[in-house]
């Protein structure tokens, strides 16, 4: 398996853990639970993708200079 797979798992755990500290219920209207959950899910996916690609690109550029 590639190192990027393990990086996705690690970053996924960190992103979910960090997003848990935000109270997003105050942002949304009342009785909009499914929309809030969908937003939370999409935000988590976007952050996981961005952070994983950032660290993986750093890893690749460090290997390039060896």
The total number of structural domains that make up the chain: 1
Q: How far apart are CA 46 and CA 6, in angstroms?
A: 17
> Once rounded to an integer, what is the mean pLDDT over residues 22-35?
84
Lowest mean pLDDT among 27-31, 46-50, 55-59: 27-31
Per-residue pLDDT tens over the stretch 12-22: 999 999 998 98
Predicted pLDDT of residue 10: 95
pTM of the model: 0.83
For residue 23, name the pLDDT band (cuts at 50, 70, 90). Answer: confident
Helix axis angle, 3-19 to 33-64, nearest 10° = 140
Q: How far apart are CA 51 and CA 65, in angstroms?
A: 22
Provide the residue range defining the domain that includes 40.
Answer: 3-64
Predicted pLDDT of residue 14: 96
């Amino acid at each position: 398996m590639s190192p990027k797979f393990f990086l996705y798992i690690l970053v996924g755990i960190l992103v979910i853990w960090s997003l848990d500290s935000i109270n997003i219920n105050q942002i949304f209207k009342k009785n909009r639970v499914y929309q809030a959950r969908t937003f939370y899910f999409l935000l988590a996916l976007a952050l996981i993708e961005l952070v994983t690609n950032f660290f993986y690109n750093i890893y690749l550029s460090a290997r390039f200079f060896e």
